[in-house]
A and B are shown apart, each in its own frame.
Chain A
Amino acid sequence: AQSVTQLGSHVSVSEGALVLLRCNYSSSVPPYLFWYVQYPNQGLQLLLKYTSAATLVKGINGFEAEFKKSETSFHLTKPSAHMSDAAEYFCAVVANTGNQFYFGTGTSLTVIP
């Protein structure tokens, strides 16, 4: 079975500061991992995905994430926060042999001017 834990339901950073959103996964088989972003009143948009190629994955809008098997983590980072990054972020996992997706509970990112 698979599951995802996102530590911190709310994260606040100053504009220009590092963004770090945490995601830990549990999977009995090699997983595929995704980060999605949700802006108010919209659906989810893909930021980046890990599908067993490079462990450091670069996504859109300057975000990246590193797959660390030893730590079962897939944290999302961005070197310098922008006001437009304020949104809800979701981590998701699916087994590489499966078809059922599991999402974390989400992290709301606030960017302080």
Chain B
Amino acid sequence: EAQVTQNPRYLITVTGKKLTVTCSQNMNHEYMSWYRQDPGLGLRQIYYSMNVEVTDKGDVPEGYKVSRKEKRNFPLILESPSPNQTSLYFCASSFQTSNQPQHFGDGTRLSIL
């Protein structure tokens, strides 16, 4: 089954404790992306990657890091999380060209105290 898998689905943690949210896709997609969803703000793109070792900033990259060492994986790293990063996060993937729809994971709800 074609899918985008995020882990964990839920996480409560404290300010400053480094965390990683993993994202994996099994569709051989070149393009992968991270979004955060906040009430009244919709989805905002954090980072995206066109292919292995190619990443670029989205609209709200501050406080986040990503890496793309393998085609299937695109982890999101919060080196020093802060409460304003409490949000619902989605990973998505698609084939490379921009007219392709994205396939979304089920989301990761992060709470940073």
Q: Show the binding face of A for B, using Cβ within 8 Å.
A: 6, 9, 32, 34, 36, 41-46, 49, 51-52, 90, 92, 94-106
- In the assembly, what is the distance between CA of A98 and CA of B31, in Å? 12
Q: Which B positions have Cβ atoms within 8 angstroms of A?
A: 4, 31, 33, 35, 40-45, 48, 50, 56, 58-59, 90, 92, 98-99, 101-102, 104-107
Q: Contact at B90–A32, with CB atoms within 8 Å?
A: no
Q: Which residues of B contact A100 (CB under 8 A)?
A: 45, 48, 56, 58-59
Interface of B, helix, strand, loop or mixed by DSSP: strand
**Shortest beta-carbon distance, B35 to chain A, in Å?**
8
Contact assessment for B31 and A99 in the assembled complex, using a CB-CB cutoff below 8 Å: yes
Known interface pairs A49-B101, A95-B98; A42-B106 also in contact (CB < 8 Å): yes
Determine the distance from Cα of A97 to Cα of B33 in the docked complex, in whole angstroms.
17
Bound-state CA distance A9–B40 (Å) is: 8
